[in-house]
Amino acid sequence: MSLEIVLREYMKHLKQPHLGPFSSENCLKLLKPYKNLRKNILVMTRTGLLVMGPAGCGKTTFCAALMTHIKNSGRTAHLVNLDPAAERFEWEPTVDIRDLISLDDVMEEMEYGPNGGLIYCFEFLMNNLDWLDEEIGDFEDDYLIFDMPGQIELYTHVPVLPSLINHLKMNLSFNLCATYLLESPFIVDRAKFFAGVMSAMSAMIMLEVPHVNVMSKMDLVKGQVTKRDMKRFLDPDALLLTNDVNEKTNPRFHELNQALVQLIDDFHMVSFLPLESGEEESVARILSYVDDATQWAEGQEPKEPKDAVEDEDVDADAGPVEF
pLDDT digits (tens, 9 = 90+) for 222-235: 888 888 888 989 99
Residue 17 has what DSSP assignment? T
Encode pLDDT of 252-308 as tens digits.
Answer: 878 888 888 888 888 888 999 999 877 889 999 999 999 999 887 765 555 555 544
User: Coil, strand, or helix at residue 204?
Assistant: helix
pTM of the model: 0.77
CA distance 139 to 93: 14
For the chain, domains (ranges, CATH) are 1-42 (no CATH), 45-299 (3.40.50.300)
pLDDT bracket for residue 3 (50, 70, 90): low
Q: Tell me the C-alpha distance between 185 and 182, whole Å.
A: 9
In order of 110, 203, 224, 307, the CA distances from 154 in angstroms are 20, 9, 33, 47
The set of residues, in sequence order, having a beta carbon less than 8 Å from that of 19 and lying 6+ positions away, is 9, 12, 13
